[in-house]
Structure 1
Amino acid sequence: MKKIGLVGGISWVSTMDYYKFINDGVNVRLGGLNFAECIIYSLNFGDIQEKTWVNSYELLLSACESLKNAGAESIVLCANTAHLFADRLQDTIRLPIIHIVEETAKAVKKAGIKKVGLLGTKFTMEMNFYRDRLEKYGLDVLIPEKQETRDYIQRTLKEELGIGFINPETKTNYISIIKELVRCGAECIILGCTEIPMLISQDDINIPVFDTTKIHSQAIVDYIVS
């Protein structure tokens, strides 16, 4: 098995999901009492929020370097937004980074879908690093049209889901946002924040839903047992 390093804490609630999915996946593949050999560096999410994501490269780099020094053979960034720096981090630390957007794009393309609705942090929805990667695979990307809608998603991710709080009213509002993306032509929905699957699942939506946390975790399992 290969040893992986997880940059977690961004947020801790979704890092728990990663730990469960990865270990469950390895055990399904190898059986017995086999589980993942991994190292977790759990960042203080408050430090990220204080600096803002766009100014957090040094925090992420420090975490990656610590994991490399501890023997990690590859790095996992346990947040979609952290992939803003994935290429730069990989070039600097000279370890492979298992890329959440790459793996999600492959899964969508394999399903034969062209037009995707993307939900995530404001950075994920509005900046080019995520959308460009999806478009590289021939995907058309739709995000909520109104700035106030994107601001609302950002606020609820920070103030609710990021601390593990599930608000039924927020779920209703997210479903309404998704329905608007479907009316605009979305053929599937990418849950492009690792906390959103706490709130929204395939059972809530009548078009395909791509859970980036699960997709990423499966790719990590494939790497570990390869």
Structure 2
Amino acid sequence: MKKIGIIGGMSWQSTQTYYKAINEGVNDHLGGLHSAELLMYSVDFAPIEQLQHNHQWPQLANKLSHAAQSLERAGADCIVIATNTMHKVADVMQENISIPIIHIADAVAVKLKQKGIDTVGLLGTAFTMEQDFYRQRLQDKHGIKVLIPDAPHRTCIHEVIYKELCHGHVYPDSHLAFMRIINELHFSGAQGIILGCTEIGLLVSQSDTDIALFDTTFIHAQAAVEFALS
């Protein structure tokens, strides 16, 4: 079994979901008392969040590259960045290590193609929804058209993520707001919706709607399991 290196803490609320999902995935495949071989570097999210909102991406790339190098030195065979937003610096990080980064957008694209989806809605932080690093990768590398909510809805989603979900708070009004946004994206042509922030699964799930939802946390965790057992 290969060792999975996880860079977590962004936020720890979703990192614990990664840990559980990866171990359950390995056990589903191997049975018995098997679990995953994992190494984790969990960051302090407060300075990360400040650098994000100050658009200090080179400094963030340096921080996460250091974390990835530490995991590689410790024996990790791959890196999983347990957040969608920080894949903005994944290419820079990859240049600084010799083991592969399992890119979350690529893992999601595989699932979308399996379902025959070529137009998808994207929910996430403002960085993920508005910047090119995620949408453009899906469009250019995988041929998947990406729709995003309008500006007021993007602000709503971003604030719920940072002010509520990252603290583990789940409120009914926020759930209803997200469901309205999901329905509007579907009405605009989205065949499915990417839950493109690893905390969104705390708020909405497939049981809430008939519209296909793609929870990036579980998809990414499954990709890590497949790598570890390959």
Question: TM-score with structure 1 length normalisation?
Answer: 0.97
The AA in structure 2 aligned to 1:143 is I
Paired residue for 1:7?
Answer: 7
Q: How does 1:60-209 map to 2 (within 5 A)?
A: 60-135=64-139, 136-145=141-150, 147-209=151-213
1:68 Cα offset (Å): 1.2
1:196 Cα offset (Å): 0.3
Deviations 1:127-174 (A, max 9, x none): 0010011112111110002x2211111111001001111111100000
Higher deviation after alignment, 3-12 or 85-94: 85-94
> Could you tell me how far apart the structure 1 residues matched to 2:193 and 2:52 are?
26
1:52 Cα offset (Å): 1.4
Deviations 1:53-89 (A, max 9, x none): 6421122112111111211111110001111111211
Given candidates 209, 221, 226, the residue that maps to 2:225 is: 221
> Could you tell me how far apart the structure 2 residues matched to 1:76 and 1:30 are?
21
> Could you tell me how far apart the structure 2 residues matched to 1:137 and 1:58 are?
28
Structure 2 unaligned regions, length at least 5: none
Higher deviation after alignment, 46-55 or 181-190: 46-55
The AA in structure 2 aligned to 1:66 is S
Secondary structure, counterpart of 2:169 in structure 1:
coil
Paired residue for 1:23?
Answer: 23
Question: TM-score with structure 2 length normalisation?
Answer: 0.95
Deviations 1:39-64 (A, max 9, x none): 11110110111211642112211211
Contact 2:21-2:218 within 8 A present in 1 as well: yes
> Could you tell me how far apart the structure 1 residues matched to 2:152 and 2:132 are?
19
> Could you tell me how far apart the structure 2 residues matched to 1:89 and 1:205 are?
37
Structure 1 unaligned regions, length at least 5: none
Paired residue for 1:32?
Answer: 32
1:120 Cα offset (Å): 0.4
Q: Which runs of 4+ in 1 moved over 3 A?
A: none
Secondary structure, counterpart of 2:6 in structure 1:
strand
Identity %: 49
1:213 Cα offset (Å): 0.7
The AA in structure 2 aligned to 1:154 is H
Contact 2:192-2:214 within 8 A present in 1 as well: yes
> Could you tell me how far apart the structure 2 residues matched to 1:83 and 1:51 are?
15
1:10 Cα offset (Å): 0.4
1:3 Cα offset (Å): 0.7
The AA in structure 2 aligned to 1:28 is D
Paired residue for 1:59?
Answer: 63
RMSD: 1.0
The AA in structure 1 aligned to 2:29 is R
> Could you tell me how far apart the structure 1 residues matched to 2:157 and 2:63 are?
24
> Could you tell me how far apart the structure 2 residues matched to 1:130 and 1:51 are?
19
- Residue-pair matches, total: 225
> Could you tell me how far apart the structure 1 residues matched to 2:5 and 2:195 are?
23
